[in-house]
């Protein structure tokens, strides 16, 4: 396809595709899907080889948020049966983080629900960063605490944070449809505050919330303008008890097209396969590794991912390798510009509290449907609006529980 040849050439030279080209990627057919993956895979390998960066989420504070992000299980009015707890102690968070690092994660993402941190919260997170860095030399720490106030980004940087995550989530035009308690510009401002303080910016999107192709292209172009070091791509996990519980709009093929489009628009940026990958890509997850160079290991904030060992096996089976702490994630021209040790970028669960907060993920492995109803449900195509409790499993282990984390 001329389109794909053009996009590969642009990706290798870091040239921005046109909006029409990005839209055309989303409009490709299933017959063209493997050609699209192969083309975007060439761009991914050019900048990141076959390396996969692992990131590990620690939910420092879960639920009870006053904001109304409609995709989020922790939102105001959510009746999702998630874990609810207040701030973990630094040693508790460090214990959870250690499990992720032992599993191969080189970045720990510290996430807290809420509109944004108080100055006292920044103190708590500073103590947590010290505890994590004291036990794991070389680990990168990304904070994801919501909207930042004056000087908070600088304080996080001084405390040793490498990165800050705050997702744009959807287009500016669509933002009011998914949240009314803050707006798109609030999010842009926080990403820019983090960058101004010398933090590596991580900012991404959530697909599958009923947005149009134009919305998806708009948010990815807005991200490109912001120039974050990492872009987590979340796929909505329709959590029962949230307004978007019936939004089952994604197919594995559409998820791959979205990831390919993000790779073409952000060719040399860490593209992270984030929340919802198990739910929506299902058995096609390994193909996504040809597009994304980064994934979350184990569980998400309020939902369970597949077993950490299954993540590692998938990466090895697909012919990729886990990126070690001895490797710099970003290409040299980007890590030099980052100006702080070349740390790679970050993510959140729907790494997106105010980026990550939401997502839910899937159950470990598929189980045999026990009843005829469940069997029928398992065969239903996406977009039917039926609840898929077989795919979305609330997190019941790790941080905030007495059970060991999944890593």
As annotated, the active-site residues are 65, 69, 72, 109, 142, 202, 272
Residues 105-134 interacting with ligand SF4 (rule: CB under 6 A)? 113, 115
* Residue 353 touching ligand SF4 (CB under 6 A): yes
Q: Specify whether the CB–CB gap between 230 and 194 falls below 8 A.
A: no
**Nearer CB in complex with ligand SF4: 103/117:** 117
* Residue 75 touching ligand SF4 (CB under 6 A): yes
* Residue 69 touching ligand SF4 (CB under 6 A): yes
**Nearer CB in complex with ligand SF4: 116/308:** 116
Nearest CA-CA partner of 348 in 210, 250, 234, 245: 234
- CB neighbour list of residue 138: distance below 8 Å, 6 or more residues apart: 106, 325
* Residue 72 touching ligand SF4 (CB under 6 A): yes
* Residue 394 touching ligand SF4 (CB under 6 A): no
In the stretch 233-272, what mask flags binding to ligand SF4 with x, by CB under 6 A?
Answer: ----------------------------------------
Nearest CA-CA partner of 111 in 353, 350, 344, 275: 353
Binding segment for ligand SF4 (CB under 6 A), chosen from 71-79, 250-258, 314-322, 397-405, is 71-79
* Residue 358 touching ligand SF4 (CB under 6 A): yes
**Nearer CB in complex with ligand SF4: 62/329:** 62
Residues 134-153 interacting with ligand SF4 (rule: CB under 6 A)? 146
CA 184 – CA 9 distance, rounded (Å): 32
How many residues in the shown chain lie near ligand SF4 by CB under 6 A?
13
**Nearer CB in complex with ligand SF4: 41/348:** 348
């Amino acid at each position: 396809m001329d389109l794909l040849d053009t996009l590969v050439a642009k990706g290798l030279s870091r040239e921005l595709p046109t909006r029409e080209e990005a839209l055309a990627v989303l409009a490709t057919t299933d017959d063209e899907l493997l050609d699209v993956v192969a083309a975007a895979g060439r761009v991914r390998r050019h900048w990141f080889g076959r390396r996969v960066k692992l990131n590990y989420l620690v939910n420092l504070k879960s639920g009870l948020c006053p904001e109304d992000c409609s995709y989020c299980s922790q939102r105001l009015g959510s009746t999702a049966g998630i874990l609810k707890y207040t701030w973990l102690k630094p040693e508790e968070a460090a214990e959870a983080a250690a499990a992720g690092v032992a599993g191969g994660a080189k970045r720990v993402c510290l996430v807290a629900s809420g509109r944004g941190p108080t100055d006292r919260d920044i103190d708590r997170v500073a103590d947590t960063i010290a505890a994590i860095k004291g036990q794991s030399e070389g680990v990168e720490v990304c904070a994801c605490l919501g909207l930042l106030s004056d000087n908070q980004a600088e304080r996080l940087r001084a405390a040793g944070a490498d990165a800050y995550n705050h997702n744009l989530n959807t287009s500016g035009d669509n933002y009011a449809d998914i949240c009314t308690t803050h707006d798109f510009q609030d999010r842009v401002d926080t990403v820019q505050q983090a960058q101004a303080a010398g933090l590596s910016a991580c900012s991404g999107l959530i697909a599958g919330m009923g947005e149009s192709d134009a919305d998806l292209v708009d948010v990815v172009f807005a991200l490109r303008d912001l120039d974050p070091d990492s872009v987590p791509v979340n796929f909505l996990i329709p959590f029962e008890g949230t307004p978007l519980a019936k939004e089952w709009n994604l197919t594995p093929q559409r998820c791959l097209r979205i990831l390919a489009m993000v790779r073409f628009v952000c060719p040399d940026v860490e593209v992270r396969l984030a929340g919802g990958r198990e739910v929506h890509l299902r058995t096609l997850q390994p193909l996504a590794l040809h597009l994304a160079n980064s994934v979350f290991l184990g569980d998400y904030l309020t939902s369970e991912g597949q077993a950490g060992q299954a993540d590692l096996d998938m990466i090895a089976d697909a012919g990729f390798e886990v990126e070690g702490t001895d490797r710099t994630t970003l290409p040299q021209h980007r890590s030099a510009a980052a100006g702080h040790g070349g740390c790679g970028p970050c993510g959140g669960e729907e790494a997106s509290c105010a980026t990550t907060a939401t997502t839910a993920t899937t159950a470990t492995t598929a189980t045999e449907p026990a009843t005829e109803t469940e069997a029928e449900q398992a065969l239903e195509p996406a977009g039917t609006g039926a609840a898929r409790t077989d795919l979305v499993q609330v997190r019941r282990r790790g941080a905030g529980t007495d059970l060991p984390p999944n890593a």
